[in-house]
Amino acid sequence: MKLIFLFILCTLCSFQLSAQCCSAGNPVAGSGFESASTKGECQVSSAIKYSLSDQYYFHDCKIDNPYILKSSFLYQNLWLSYSFSNRISVSAEAGYFYDKSQKLSFNDDPFRLGTSGIGDVALAVKIIVLKKVKPVTQLAFSAGTKIPVGAFHQSVDGITIPVSLQPSSGAIKWTANASFQRLSADQSWGFASQAMLALSSEINKDYLIYRHGTFLRTNAGVMHRVLPKMNVSLFGVLDVRGKDTREFDQVVTGTGSFAILVQPWIQYAFRSDRILFFNIESPVYRYFNGELLGNKFAAQIGFRATFNTYNKKKSI
Amino acid sequence: MNKCLLIACFVSLLMIGFSCKKENPIVPDPSDNLAIDSIVPEKRTIVVWEEIGVKVYTRGTGLSYLWSTNHGTLIGQDSVTVRYWACPTCTGLNTIECKVSNEYGTVSDTVMIKVL
């Protein structure tokens, strides 16, 4: 049972970029819906994610742009979680961008503009309000923050990299999350759903005054155990992003979007507490309020390990 | 008469002598060591995706430059010139800043570009 439980939770533990490209800050964050559900349980997870965007859209139509050939990043996160009780846990996440860049066509020559550096730190507290064993059912809420400790003024050859390519978002963000999951009686099938809301504070650094729009992600999906140690999941995701504002609360026209994505997962458990996971995220429909670079796909591979410190202490 | 003329000449010589000051050595203006005279864009109003050059005029030696903008993209052309363009979400009045540094310190200046 624990294995299945971990499979679903692992699936839900990853929040990723919406179909709107070039968002500053961490692309993967602890969702607050971690599987640390028994007292003294400690989890460690790390994942590498690659994302590629190479097409500009106006509303939902593809359009050309004169400069940007593609935009991509390669990011690795480290996520830790600890359960103080059977219902309350805390988590922290940090990461590093090995590359966050754009390939530009400048004077007909390809030109790379980008950098690398530490991303923001995310912290969250999760409370499980409903926990049933037969059938396995769980409802949890979490709240957290993202602290912009990462690199935000990276420069290359005397030119400061654009804000959208900086590893840090430059703004404190507040997140709230609700998640629900239920397994079938034989635990070969599972259903899970989640909603996450992220509010951004205003960036006020040097000449930049900017506030990212509110971001809402909801997803729902099913999991099926195809082998004793392997399962597959398919999630549908709806992302809604509000409009950004700049100085004097001017609305940045053209920002804001919604997108529908599919997210297939494969997960393999070496042991009940050691899980390898892989997923792809691909937009199937998107609508931008203006002209924006859209995400083509993102792929992620990661590993998660669980340790129960409480039982060890007791046995000692 | 000759005596008066002689006295007049003597007084004139004295006046000329006192009026001539000793040439002071040329002391350079402190701003010659490090200064930005101006930042000059090719245009101050552009449309989305339009590319312009922005050049900084400076004084001093051993200068290093750091360019930044709050909205839009900068690409270095040479040490004193950058190319600038703005994407569709960068419309508005944007600021380009240039910081110039050498052994005497750092100075900065800005220029505003309106993106339509």
Dig out the tokens for A85 from the structure: 């009780």
Are A65 and B49 a contacting pair at CB < 8 A? yes
Q: Which of B70, B96, B112, B114 is the best residue to mutate to test the A interface, defined by the most A CB atoms within 10 Å of its own CB?
A: B70
Chain B positions in Cβ-Cβ contact with residue A290 (cut-off 8 Å)? 88-89
pLDDT band at B19 (very low <50, low <70, confident <90, very high): low
pLDDT in tens, B66-89: 999 999 999 988 889 999 999 999
A309 near B CB under 8 A: no
**Are residues A265 and A234 in contact, defined by beta-carbon separation less than 8 angstroms?**
yes
Residues in chain B, total: 116
Q: Give me the pLDDT at residue A233, please.
A: 93
SS3 category, B79? coil
- Smallest CA–CA distance, residue B29 to chain A, in Å, is 27
Q: Give me the pLDDT at residue A36, please.
A: 46
CATH number of B31-115: 2.60.40.10
Which amino acid, residue A165?
A: L
Whole-complex ipTM:
0.81
Compute the count of residue pairs across chains A and B with CB atoms less than 8 Å apart: 75
Chain B positions in Cβ-Cβ contact with residue A210 (cut-off 8 Å)? 70
What number is the average pLDDT over the span A115-132? 93
Say how many C-beta atoms besides its own lie within 10 A of residue A19's C-beta: 28
Of B82, B89, B91, the CB nearest to A159: B82
Query: Could you tell me the domains of chain A?
Result: 2-315 (2.40.160.40)
Q: Give me the pLDDT at residue A33, please.
A: 35
Question: What is d(CA A82, CA A141) in angstroms, rounded to the nearest whole number?
Answer: 16
Are B88 and A254 a contacting pair at CB < 8 A? yes
- Smallest CA–CA distance, residue A214 to chain B, in Å, is 16
Output the pTM of the full model.
0.84
Query: Residue B38: is its pLDDT beyond 70?
Result: yes
pLDDT in tens, A21-56: 445 455 643 333 345 468 889 999 999 999 999 999
Of B76, B82, B88, the CB nearest to A291: B88
Q: Please report the residues numbered 45 through 104 in chain B whose beta carbons come closer than 8 angstroms to any beta carbon of chain A.
A: 48-49, 64-76, 79, 82-83, 85, 87-89, 91-92, 95, 97
pLDDT band at A111 (very low <50, low <70, confident <90, very high): confident
Q: Give me the pLDDT at residue A14, please.
A: 45
Question: What is d(CA A291, CA A22) in angstroms, rounded to the nearest whole number?
Answer: 13
pLDDT in tens, A64-103: 888 888 999 999 999 999 999 989 999 999 999 999 999 9
Helix (H) or strand (E) holding B11: helix B2-19
Q: Which DSSP category does B87 fall into?
A: -
SS3 category, B6? helix
Q: Where are the domains of chain B?
A: 31-115
Are A159 and B64 a contacting pair at CB < 8 A? no
- Smallest CA–CA distance, residue B33 to chain A, in Å, is 20
